Amino acid sequence: MNLIFTCGGTAGHINPAIAIANEMRRRDPSCKVLFIGAVGHMEEKLVPQAGYELRTLPGSGLSRKKSLAGLKQNIHAVNCVLQAVSACKKIFREFQPDAVIGTGGYASFPALYAGSKMGIPTCVHESNAVPGVTTKMIANRASRVLVAFEESVGYYNDPGKVEVVGMPLQQGFIYADKKSARQQLGLGQEDFVVLSAFGSLGAKHMNELMAELMCLEKEAGYPFHHIHATGGFGWEWMPELLRKDGLDLPHTPAIDMREYIYDMPVEMAAADIVISRSGAATCNEIAVSGTPSILIPSPNVTNNHQERNARVLSDRNAAVTIVEKDCTAQVLFDEIGRLLSDPDRRETMSKTLKTMARVDSTQRICDIVEELTKA
């Protein structure tokens, strides 16, 4: 079996594709897998690191500006898509895929479009309740449309080919446990551990907020071990910002800062609390791992879908939601303190999360892929 996976831009698009590819390889070790992504994006790091070959396409985003510059940008973007479709057809003639699976990101549209034009079975997965641009554009041409949320079905013209499957995720989230995770990371079993991450690219405002929070931690004598992933946009400047605030990271063992967390199942299992945005993939990982969380939804997303995702958890007391405009370092520090001082509440949150988790999503998606290749 030969499979093409197309994804990119952020880990929220890439990691689900890797999870599906891993399961397909587990089922059929002879399965050949090729990823298609965009030049200059995170897939260039994550896909090879997962052990898969990646081909990249030229890409350019659309502009929403009503100006001459915006018009030129959009003409350039359309030309890039046409070039990308042509490049995909060439790749497909060489690789002879049995199916093309897309999980979102710039490269997904040209790859899925090219596959449908060539008569190759195609499958697109939409992680958010409100469909993204790629899914909207390709849904009518795709062989199957897979969605994470029941309420998503009504957005599509042909509900008959839409199936609710949940979110694919790494199997490590299901099997990781706190004791072994902490042993692996060299953390004490009785230590309080807080993990913060705000997307693979990072968020400037949230990194600044974390810097303020770390200063409060210093003033309080470091009451917990703090693991923070800056993302690509914060790694260069955040250590210097903290140094100016009197925090010397190399000599501050209570703060562990990285650009990106590559083994999230282990890190999340080790944590008492996760602080993060509330993309669909993140919320699903939190639910499956059963880790209590403080969610700060991004306000800069389509249809405010991140707050909707967060409220699904917090309305059942399975997480705490703080909207960004209300989230100061002191508010966050106080909320962390309340959670860490209340083990019964954390245990209840964890149990509720696990009742909400869907752990068979990856398997169901792989069943559908197999059905498509045999049709």
First vs last C-alpha separation in the chain: 13
232 and 269 in a single domain? The answer is yes
Q: Are residues 201 and 273 in the same domain?
A: yes
How large a percentage of the chain has pLDDT more than 90? Answer: 63
Number of neighbouring beta carbons within 10 Å of residue 235: 16
Q: Do 199 and 338 share a structural domain?
A: yes
Closest CA to 227 of 199, 253, 188, 265: 253
Domain that holds residue 370: 2-167+359-374
Distance between CA atoms of 194 and 272, rounded to whole angstroms? 6
The whole-number pLDDT of residue 74 equals 63
Is residue 230 classed exposed, middle or buried when 0-12, 13-18 and 19+ CB atoms within 10 A define those classes? buried
The answer, yes or no, to whether residue 262 has pLDDT greater than 90, is no
Helix (H) or strand (E) holding 351: helix 343-356
- 274 lies in the same domain as 126: no
Predicted confidence at residue 64, as pLDDT, reads 55
Collapsed DSSP state (helix, strand, coil) of residue 101: strand
Q: Judge if 226 and 190 occupy the same domain.
A: yes
Distance CA 132, CA 244 (A): 40
**CATH at 24:** 3.40.50.2000
The pTM assigned to this predicted structure is 0.79
Domain shared by 176 and 138, yes or no: no
Judge if 158 and 181 occupy the same domain.
no
Residue 140 per-residue DSSP state? T
**In a shared domain, residues 245 and 155:** no
Please, are residues 61 and 106 in contact by the beta-carbon 8 Å criterion?
Answer: yes
If one counts the domains in the chain, the total is 2
Same domain, 44 and 109: yes
DSSP 3-state helix, strand, coil percentages of the chain (rounded to 5)? 50, 15, 35
- pLDDT at position 62 over 60: no
Same domain, 227 and 285: yes
Q: What is the pLDDT of residue 134?
A: 77
Same domain, 150 and 185: no
User: Would you say residue 303 has pLDDT above 90?
Assistant: no
Residue 196 and residue 304 in one domain:
yes
Cβ-based neighbours of 322, under 8 Å, separated by 6 or more: 294, 295, 296, 331, 332, 335
Selected residue with higher pLDDT from 129 and 33: 33
Which structure tokens are listed for 90?
A: 């060439």
How many Å apart are CA 182 and CA 58, to the nearest integer? 42
Question: Which residue's structure tokens are 């909400």?
Answer: 356
